[in-house]
Amino acid sequence: MIPVLKKILFATDLTENSRYAFFFAASMASCYDGKITLLHVMEKSSISVEHSLASFLGDETWQEMKRKQESKARNILIGKKKDDEMIRKALALFCSTAGLASDCCSFTTDEIIIKSGKVIDEIIRTAGDKGCNLIVLGAHKGLFGTTSVGSVAKGVLQKASIPVLIVPPPPLKV
């Protein structure tokens, strides 16, 4: 049986490598007339670290810092415009960058989710909750310039019950 990838979870850490990996998620969704759910998980600090920071900075300052971090992530993912307007513009940009006519780009963005928690667990949970058939993640450059599969990608591979596509960083421009 040939798998049909109608629901793709694209998990992003908002890095350049993740933006590059998005092209692969969009390409897969376009091929299968699928939908993409974008997910960004902010690693939640341990209770003892949160308590220490709140004590040191003051609870009000610590809560404000957390709100600003979430707001910054949200602005990177969806901008200050309405979600649907930003998504249409991002899809048009993807299609033009990929050299495709806009009618060839038949995928849609299902939802943009920002969560706080344990990154691996939230990726796996969201993929299950949304009924996804594929998870797409970006890899990173390692210490010596080689591609590195980090702890998040390894953890997702170990826990996932659906295929996981790990996209290496883009090639260096010479």
Residue 158 lies in a domain: yes
Residue 67 lies in a domain: no
Contact 7, 130 (CB under 8 A): yes
Residue 78 lies in a domain: no
Residue 59 lies in a domain: no
What DSSP letter does each residue of 14-35 carry, written as one string? SSHHHHHHHHHHHHHHHHTT-E
Read off the CATH number of the domain in which 23 is found. Answer: 3.40.50.620
Residue 34 lies in a domain: yes
pLDDT at 81: 47
Residue 20 lies in a domain: yes
- Phi/psi-derived region of residue 151, left when phi > 0, alpha when psi is between -120 and 50, beta in every other case: alpha
pLDDT band at 84 (very low <50, low <70, confident <90, very high): very low
Q: Can you give the residue range of the structural domain that contains 124?
A: 7-45+83-167
pLDDT at 7: 93
Number of domains composing the chain: 1
